[in-house]
Structure 1
């Protein structure tokens, strides 16, 4: 999912305070939208809301029975369709968050709900709804005064570089639970309470996530004991990259036969990928189209080198799948050390 916030503007913003229900914290609901007019405030808010979006992974609303039972889906849908006022829908979203805020580690914070215009998703401009929560407060000094005297005051506020959690829902694919981009909080507690209990979202079963899941499974496979030598593991991951680069459609059987042929581990790899995909709730991975955006990230994530404890790295490029045959590993009895021997014709 490719995102561009260059032309994005925050049309409406309302802020509620939501505490921990189990601790008896209060919930304070705003009745009107915040005044965000000004030269610098809209830009600052945009930076605050958009900077940590995980644009490489797409999500959608879901419910185990029917998507119509997902409360947040219904409130966001109402905002897009204009069925009920933006303010009322935002209050309902805040109430739902309060109901699920029962874990002892969940802190009181400000829930910001924004109606955003002009965000580009995969080359198309959409309206969107942003749902954000900030719990962390930072101390800062406010200095004011005139020519004769300065006053220093201590206050607490929100660090615009630290948004705790949030998501942006794009007004597309309504029947499938909308397209949703998530903010990376890095917390397992947030993953459970924010994404599952509150939002009710899941990773979209699209070609991006299938491509990513396939490669992640291969990377995990090389960490196991199926393949012994580090050079063979690098060679297999290089084969993964080359196969995906040259084959726009993935057939899992052909893929595993190709990338694991040198290690003679095709069947083990196929079973491992299917098992990994099932645990990640990624369906229909046997046949799908390669996602170009995922391919760019794959190239950056694959480590095609061998790092040695003598502060030397051996890089094995993926441009040739059989270049591993020019690398030979051995053991020197005199030095009591392992070594690599590299064959070549000319230095370049």
Structure 2
């Protein structure tokens, strides 16, 4: 592992940069701690690629990373180029300065490939230093927490012609949503099975919650039932097929036609193309599942969570107002 660290401030605030011209030389224990800290940042299977509005070679981050992969001897000089690019990207006074770590992870087996890591630390966390039996036994200091890095990108040396494969994380946006992803790296999500799973769930959720009640008379119970059926489909199947999905979840031909029209409009508005058949990515389903909670909110008094059989809940009305009947076999 080759590693170098630079100090990168905020350009708008005139904080400047501090470049190192030497790699860090770490003992085995420190090296292992840092490697776990850096690589432990990536929890999701969501992947990205470099892009440009014109030619891919016009993406500076892509060009610099390519140079390191092609010739490791340029590592130090090009790590500084990465630092300059990061500094120039700070066009918002809210962007915090910090340490920039550039790391080259060399392949350690036949099944592995070279990777370049770009990591930035920004936040400082307070911690205690304990000195037993001394006059001042406790000292308060600030440092970098190893719990979660602020910004990270890992570039895999594959699929260069389409902008490489990246994993990207920004845990400290601090008022600027675009600084790390767009202004600095200039990356887009790859249209892989994670993307198609994620977007298909987005589209159906939006259809059920927004378009369906606007176009048809449906109850909150019906909406909850559709959401439950949809997430169950994705959890139970290994492959998504649009026709099979719409038949099992929507069933009605008029609803299916309405959904197809909504999907087409959604893709045009978002300028994406979501496949009609693809392997389902379990990680994407798990991440999206939290947005598929089927909840009926009643004024400010009660929430009803619906997890299954909608026939066990019925809506009615009497002289006291609207009410729900809920049928059950046992109470826990």
TM-score, with length taken from structure 1? 0.80
SS in 1 for 2:178: helix
| Native 8 Å contact 1:215 1:298 kept in 2 | yes
Range moving further from structure 2, 132-141 or 95-104: 132-141
User: Corresponding residue for 2:222?
Assistant: 232
Cα separation, partners in 2 of 1:155 and 1:263, compared to 1, 3 Å: farther
Most deviating of 78-87 and 96-105: 78-87
Q: Residue in 1 aligned with 2:38?
A: 49
Alpha-carbon distance in structure 2 between the residues aligned to 1:88 and 1:197 = 21
Aligned residues of 1:54 and 1:184 also touching (Cα < 8 A): no
Structure 1 residue aligned with 2:239, among 227, 242, 248?
Answer: 248
Give the Å deviation of 1:186.
5.7
TM-score, normalised relative to structure 2: 0.83
Cα 1:294–1:162 shift into 2, 3 Å: closer
Give the match for residue 260 of structure 2: 270
1:186 and 1:223 mapped to 2: Cα distance? 30
Segments of 5+ residues of structure 1 without an aligned counterpart are 1-10, 318-322
- 1:81-100 equivalences in 2 (<5 Å): 81-82=70-71, 84-100=73-89
In structure 2, do the counterparts of structure 1 residues 188 and 236 end up closer, same or farther at CA, with 3 Å as the change threshold? farther
Matches within 5 A, 1:153-164: 153-164=139-150
**Partner residue, 1:7:** none
**Number of equivalent positions:** 324
Where 1:57 maps in the other structure, the secondary structure is coil
Contact 2:151 2:172 in 1 (8 A): no
Q: Given the alignment of the two structures, is residue 132 of structure 1 paired with residue 123 of structure 2, yes or no?
A: no
Using the alignment, how far apart are the partners of 1:141 and 1:326 within structure 2? 56
Is the counterpart of residue 102 in structure 1 residue 63 in structure 2?
Answer: no
Change (3 A) 1:305 1:150: closer
1:126 and 1:301 map into 2 onto residues whose CA distance is: 35
The 3 A distance-change label for structure 1 pair 140 and 68 is same
In structure 2, the residue matched to 1:112 is: 101
Unaligned runs of 5+ in 2: none
Residue 303 (structure 1) aligned to one of 265, 289, 293: 293
The counterpart of 1:197, out of the listed 162, 166, 183, is 183
- Alpha-carbon contact 1:53-1:184 (below 8 Å) kept: no
Deviates more, 1:228-237 or 1:13-22: 228-237
Residues 262, 340 of structure 1: CA spacing in aligned structure 2 closer, same or farther, 3 A cutoff? farther
Does 2:17 align with 1:27? yes
**Cα deviation, residue 183, structure 1:** 1.4
Give, in angstroms, the shift of residue 232 of structure 1. Answer: 0.9
Aligned-partner Cα distance in 2 for 1:91–1:83: 14
Q: Which residue of 1 aligns with 2:307?
A: 316
1:79 maps onto 2:63 in alignment? no
CA RMSD in angstroms comes to 3.2
